[in-house]
Amino acid sequence: MKKIILLLTTVFALTNSWAQKISVNPPVPAARQLQWQQMEFYLFVHFGPNTFTDLEWGKGTEPEDVFNPTHLDCGQWCRIAKAAGAKGIILTAKHHDGFCLWPSKYSTHTVAQSKWKNGKGDVLLELRDSCKKYGLKMGVYLSPWDRNHPEYGTPAYNDVFVNMMKEVVQRYGPFFEFWWDGANGEGPNGKKQVYDWCRFENTMRAIAPKTVLFSDIGPDARWVGNEKGFAGDPNWDLLDTAGFTRGIGAPSNDTLNHGNVNGKNWIPAECDVSIRPGWFYHKEEDEKVKSPEQLFELYLKSVGRGANLLLNVPPDRDGLIDAHDSAALVGFKKLRDESFDNTIAEKKFNTASSTYTIPLPSTQKINCIVLKEDIATGQKISSFTIVLQQNDNTVKEIKGNTVGNKRILTFPSTEADAIKVIINNAKATPLLNDVSVYSIDEKLIEKD
Ligand code: FUL
């Protein structure tokens, strides 16, 4: 009885202190952000003149004929994405060299001026149709920096960029995500552009209100502060953007990596990383494709820390994903399936508590626990402890900070017959709505 009273008092005290901390308007995700967060993992495709010139940043002076994929098959990209368990594909419709992978009315540096398919080719159209066929969502990367466009560096270029956004949304949308690169270098006349971000954002909101808008500082999803594919720990879905601008005016990489604990805006992190050293395909990197194990580690450090994973897989000069990359992707999927298909125990909760108990069906070795926080009403948990128990005795304690959409914790295999998750600190009354327990291959356990 004494124990019960003590427990009730503790629960009440915690709940009460959380209640006092509830801010009047805590930032919450919009419906488009919640849907996006559930996608967790999707592919990035860097493709364009650089694929054929072996550059990472094209100069903008490359003849259009350089772009000539002999066997382009977006269906192959989609089949590989599906086999990898990715939920969508974001294509670099225009990189810094300004070359448009669709026949834009607003540029003379596009597929229409190339000899590829006698100027009748359209990569965006092919990808749109393939994504539809294979049930994948499509997204577009459009670089405002344009090293080719004659108007770049003048106010007229902002009209060009707005027109291009409208053109791709109307012809090839809807998109689940629109990716703005903050890079802002010089154009063909040596001038830098003053981007009209406010207009860009208003345009997209008006024509594509369900599309998640990405840039280093959002408004809907933020850059994670590195191109290595890992989110910070802690990782808040919140960011303060007042006083900051996109590109070089963004907050520090460290802030982008962790978010702001009391940030005013809901802007979760997306981890962009390439399966190869470069973003574009280079034959000499064929042997440097990340292994399934390395990809799994990235998964733990991105999706497993509440962020989304945007994994770049660049097609080669044929217009196809190379066998090295597809093998790594299939291997990565296999590791995820082997790890998470055999759930030892899982419990769903629908009421908030400071302690969640999950009994295991028997005493057994475990080394991985997945927590999910109900983020629809905001992200709240800032500190938790997982207690592994055997015969009611504590055998191991694992401490963590934020949870968010998903938190995957791995630890050396330990025998247990129950686990307890204790919420030590939260910004407001939190709900952990799912806790599941696994035993994964020991070699996949996070190293640091
Ligand atoms: C950067 C670009 O400069 C790289 O080429 C690449 O596209 C990466 C995803 O974003 O800002």
Question: Is residue 5 domain-resident?
Answer: no
Q: Which of 109, 180, 181 is nearest to 148 (CA)?
A: 109
Which residue, of 340, 373, 397, is where some domain finishes? 340
User: Do 132 and 68 share a structural domain?
Assistant: yes
User: Do 332 and 360 share a structural domain?
Assistant: no
**Residue 181 beta carbon below 6 angstroms from any ligand 1 atom:** yes
Q: pLDDT grade, residue 249 (50/70/90)? A: very high
pLDDT of residue 16: 44
> Token digits for 144?
């405002």
Q: What is the CA radius of gyration of the chain?
A: 24
Question: Is residue 117 domain-resident?
Answer: yes
User: Do 249 and 119 share a structural domain?
Assistant: yes
Q: pLDDT grade, residue 2 (50/70/90)? A: very low
- Cα–Cα distances in angstroms (integers) from residue 320 to residues 66, 80, 317, 411, in the given order: 17, 10, 7, 39
Q: Which of 5, 23, 36 is nearest to 270 (CA)?
A: 36
108 phi and psi, to 5 degrees? Answer: -110, 20
Q: How far is the CA of 99 from the centre of ligand 1 (A)?
A: 15
Could you tell which of 142, 186, 279, 313 is best to mutate to test the pocket of ligand 1, judged by most ligand atoms within 8 Å of the CB?
279
pLDDT of residue 448: 66
Q: Which of 375, 405, 399 is nearest to 386 (CA)?
A: 399
* DSSP string of 198-216, one letter each residue: HHHHHHHHHH-TTSEEEET
Helix 155-172 to helix 123-134 angle, to the nearest 10 degrees? 40
pTM: 0.95
User: Do 378 and 300 share a structural domain?
Assistant: no
**Residue 183 beta carbon below 6 angstroms from any ligand 1 atom:** yes
Q: Give me the mean pLDDT over the 410-432 stretch.
A: 96
User: Do 393 and 320 share a structural domain?
Assistant: no
Strands 432-438 vs 355-373: parallel, antiparallel or unpaired: antiparallel
Q: Report the CATH number that the domain containing residue 393 is assigned in CATH.
A: 2.60.120.260
User: Do 100 and 64 share a structural domain?
Assistant: yes
Half-sphere exposure at residue 368, Cβ-oriented, CA atoms within 13 angstroms: 22
User: Do 362 and 300 share a structural domain?
Assistant: no
Averaged confidence pLDDT in the chain: 95
Which residue, of 323, 340, 357, is where some domain finishes? 340
Question: Is residue 15 domain-resident?
Answer: no
Q: Report the CATH number that the domain containing residue 306 is assigned in CATH.
A: 3.20.20.80
CB 170 within 8 A of CB 206: no
Residue nearest atom 1 of ligand 1, based on CA coordinates: 181
Question: Is residue 254 domain-resident?
Answer: yes
List strands edge to edge, sheet with 381-390. 345-348, 432-438, 355-373, 407-426, 381-390, 393-400
The residue ranking higher by pLDDT, 23 or 432, is 432
**Residue 226 beta carbon below 6 angstroms from any ligand 1 atom:** no
pLDDT in tens, 176-233: 999 999 999 999 999 999 999 999 999 999 999 999 999 999 999 999 999 999 999 9
Which residue, of 319, 340, 361, is where some domain finishes? 340
Question: Is residue 331 domain-resident?
Answer: yes
Write down the residue that tokens 């042997």 correspond to: 287
Q: pLDDT grade, residue 447 (50/70/90)? A: confident
Which ligand 1 atom sits nearest the alpha carbon of residue 57? 5
pLDDT in tens, 280-315: 999 999 999 999 999 999 999 999 999 999 999 999
Count up the domains in the chain and report the number.
2
Q: Which domain holds residue 61?
A: 31-340
Rounded distance between C-alpha atoms, residue 303 and residue 87, angstroms: 13
Question: Is residue 308 domain-resident?
Answer: yes
Q: How far is the CA of 181 from the centre of ligand 1 (A)?
A: 7
Could you tell which of 44, 180, 181 is best to mutate to test the pocket of ligand 1, judged by most ligand atoms within 8 Å of the CB?
181
CA 330-335-340 angle, to 5 degrees, is 125
